[in-house]
A and B are shown apart, each in its own frame.
Chain A
């Protein structure tokens, strides 16, 4: 019966099958504009170095990446190496789609990874590494210096003097009073109820001592709907009611285009747009401390994984260690604008090294970022939390009731799957 469901998908994948020959590797990568030049460089550099020894790699950008991976998984046509989005790793490890790679990676690389990046690739039940990312991403408060100065708001420069929640509320109040400011804070409500709501808003919950699921027992009840989370989201709801938050219908460019917003909470992918829009007025402000845990930034991104069916492990090992070498990790960061995931590569990066414009991002990635829950139920967890956040921020709803519903949805899914053994045992 199950096969009938997948037959059509599998048919589609047949066209893309790639069978490994000894020494000839195929790696599937995401088809992003900012990543493309890096992958071209990766293929050329690797083949220049190892081609003479008989090992070559073909790096293939795949459009509609997630669908292609799903289809190739069903038809058994995955290539030697694939890229995986961090939060999906646990699900793929649990279903047996990918295999552990910790033993293939040079210990020097593993020891050099940023803690949250290593956590993102580590599969809980076995403690093995299944995934490794060349970069980390992060969230920060981007600010309009001229507006902040005009409103007389203190601009923090490091994690140690970050705003408290009350200071931020005060800053928003002052900024809202400026004539040119429509809504002072853009938190990207226009991104909709998707992954951003987890990636971007769980740091505030964690800063206030909350989380979206208990990472020991893997139950959501009592954690996602804790008093701390109700308190965190109520603050955002209050700010929204006070007219401090850019609504979804206002579009994407209030901060960097029309300049009617003074602050924007978003990840480093917006850096080019912000730099172009604000020039010297752009200021990078550490995340606010919502509670005792201090400032927390988001974490995660795409990285390398090896399908269970891959057999050419010696050559794959060569490729992984090359792709994760300091030079390559620094090149990935400088090409795409993300933070290098290796401590030793950070000084090599122009942007994120000492004195670079993004030094604060590198610091946040090392000190203050928490990985999203590494669990096979992640698709359900993120969807439930995102729905609650969007509902809370779109009107006068009961925050506790929304989070209670999210808890119920998540726990029901985990119970339906018998707790996703071996998790929670």
Chain B
């Protein structure tokens, strides 16, 4: 069936359902957050009325050392987990795209982490990190001798790295599937031509595969970064932001302020800041990558 366009009206009519939902579920709540961030709004109705308090929430936020610690932790997490995860998923995609035996089986196994809810994955990893003799520490004791152990989650210098390891493993198959689709999109005759010209496998990757994945890379870099900045579940279950704030992330900080202490106004200020920061990072990434491609 062919759809004939009848000018602007029809396009608008097609956009309308999505526009209504996006407005109601994203735009309006965001504008409400902006409004609440200038008030002392609480979670539950109170006998004293909500007041407009100007920029007090923002001033307190910028004066709170834990907020800055949360920003530092979140940025650190994103900076480590994004390249690690993309390298893992690209590597896995390349392997699963080549002619290995039992390819179908390995492809199925590789996406298993995606089938588990994050809460389940985190609970399993909590057991792996157990002290003094959980599985990871059992391996450590092979090298370091019995009686030694590392409290991965209880030590400020290792807690964030532990969460990085778990997070990278838990969601890399998603990126891997997208890389796989990207690899299938690269025309095979390019590889054949390269082989005739005597290109080595590294050269084929460097001059055909990598440029061919450019758009996939841009897309994955942005969604992986944004996803990393939203880190919450792993922290809330494993460490509650501890030890001593070492794993507090912006979203966990926001959650504690909004629900544990019921300060919706303050949490809204954190949310507005977070939204602006993430938008700026995503736009910056796009711009840099686009220019790079055109250079």
Contact = CB atoms under 8 A, between A and B. Distances in A.
B244 A397 contact: yes
A379 B260 contact: yes
Contacts of A70: 43-44
A247 B155 CA distance: 11
Interface string B214-252: 000000000000000000000000001111110000000
Given A248-B154, A250-B130, A416 B40 contact: yes
Interface size class of B (residues with CB under 8 A): 35 or more
B156 A395 contact: yes
B35 A1 contact: yes
A334 interface: no
A248 B153 contact: yes
A418 interface: yes
Contacts of B35: 1
A201 to B, nearest CB: 15
Interface in A287-342: none
Contact of A379 (B28, B131, B244, B262): B262
B18 interface: no
A287 to B, nearest CB: 26
Task: Among A4, A5, A73, A194, find the residue whose CB has the most chain B CB atoms closer than 10 A.
Answer: A5
Given A73-B44, A394-B154, A4 B131 contact: no
B261 interface: yes
Interface in B233-286: 240-245, 256, 260-264
Nearest to A410: B261
Interface string B101-144: 00000000000000000000000001101111000000000000
Interface in B26-65: 28, 32, 35-36, 40-41, 43-48, 50
B130 A251 contact: yes
A96 interface: yes
Interface string A1-21: 110111000000000000000
A315 B260 CA distance: 36
A249 interface: yes
Contact of B47 (A96, A248, A380, A397): A96
Given A73-B44, A248-B153, A192 B256 contact: no
Nearest to A390: B242
Nearest to B65: A405
B240 A193 contact: yes
A24 interface: no
B41 A5 contact: yes
A95 B44 contact: yes
A40 B129 CA distance: 41
B47 A95 contact: yes
A85 B256 CA distance: 20
A45 interface: no
Interface string B143-161: 0000000011110100000
B183 to A, nearest CB: 40
A395 B131 contact: no
A421 B240 CA distance: 33
Contacts of B36: 5
B237 to A, nearest CB: 9
A74 interface: yes
A94 interface: yes
Interface string A404-425: 0000000001001110010000
A394 B242 contact: yes
A383 interface: yes
A12 B82 CA distance: 38
A73 B153 CA distance: 39
Contacts of A43: none
A416 B46 CA distance: 13
Nearest to A392: B244
B48 A421 contact: yes
Contacts of A248: 153-154, 242
Nearest to A412: B60
B234 to A, nearest CB: 14
A2 B261 contact: no
B253 to A, nearest CB: 12
Nearest to A73: B44
Task: Among A248, A251, A380, A383, find the residue whose CB has the most chain B CB atoms closer than 10 A.
Answer: A248
Interface string A72-115: 01100000000000000001001110000000000000000000
A417 B261 CA distance: 13
Given A95-B46, A247-B154, A383-B261, A2 B244 contact: no
Contacts of A421: 48
Given A5-B32, A394-B154, A94 B47 contact: yes
Contacts of B153: 248-249
B45 A95 contact: yes
Contacts of A193: 240-242
Interface string A166-203: 00000000000000001000000000111000000000
A372 to B, nearest CB: 16
A249 B48 contact: no
A125 to B, nearest CB: 12
A249 B244 contact: no
A250 B242 contact: no
Given A249-B131, A250-B130, A379-B260, A391 B151 contact: no
Interface of A: 1-2, 4-6, 70, 73-74, 91, 94-96, 182, 192-194, 247-251, 379-380, 383, 390-391, 394-395, 397, 413, 416-418, 421
3 nearest CB pairs, A to B: A394-B243, A192-B240, A249-B153
14 contacts: A4-B28, A6-B45, A70-B43, A73-B45, A74-B45, A94-B46, A95-B47, A182-B132, A192-B240, A249-B153, A250-B132, A391-B243, A391-B245, A418-B48
Given A391-B243, A391-B244, 8 more contacts: A73-B44, A95-B46, A182-B132, A248-B242, A249-B151, A249-B152, A250-B132, A251-B127
Interface of B: 28, 32, 35-36, 40-41, 43-48, 50, 126-127, 129-132, 151-154, 156, 240-245, 256, 260-264
